[in-house]
Amino acid sequence: MTFVVEYEDGKEPSVNTGTEILGGKLLSVGFNDYRDEQLTQDEVSALNHAINFNDLKETCEDFEVNYDEVVAKL
């Protein structure tokens, strides 16, 4: 299970490995905005227009990955 919690800058709680949260134990902490690493909708649209989806489907078959799952992630 994953939780994403936003705190006001400078008001983040002190945490470390082993901190107990809602009956579980904290294993990993990332101090970044995960959305900064995701494509924007405009970037996704640009990729969708540039990709030859027939080639992508063949390549997915070659690498034995699910074409529909790859496209859904775009």
Report pLDDT for 44: 87
The pLDDT of residue 70: 92
Whether the model clears a pTM of 0.75, i.e. scores above it, the answer is no
Q: Is residue 11 part of a domain?
A: no
Tens of pLDDT along the chain (74 residues)? 777 888 898 898 888 888 888 899 888 877 777 777 888 899 989 998 999 999 999 999 999 999 999 988 88
Question: Into how many domains does the chain fold?
Answer: 1
Whether 52 is covered by a domain: the verdict is yes
Q: Where in 1-74 does DSSP place strands (E)? A: 20-21, 24-25
Is 44 within a domain?
yes
Q: Is residue 4 one of the residues assigned to a domain?
A: no
Residue 18's pLDDT is 82
What pLDDT score was predicted for residue 7?
86
* Residue 27, domain extent: 20-73
| CB-based contact 67:60 (threshold 8 Å) | yes
Q: How far is it, in rounded angstroms, from Cα 28 to Cα 58?
A: 37
Let me know if residue 10 belongs to a domain: no
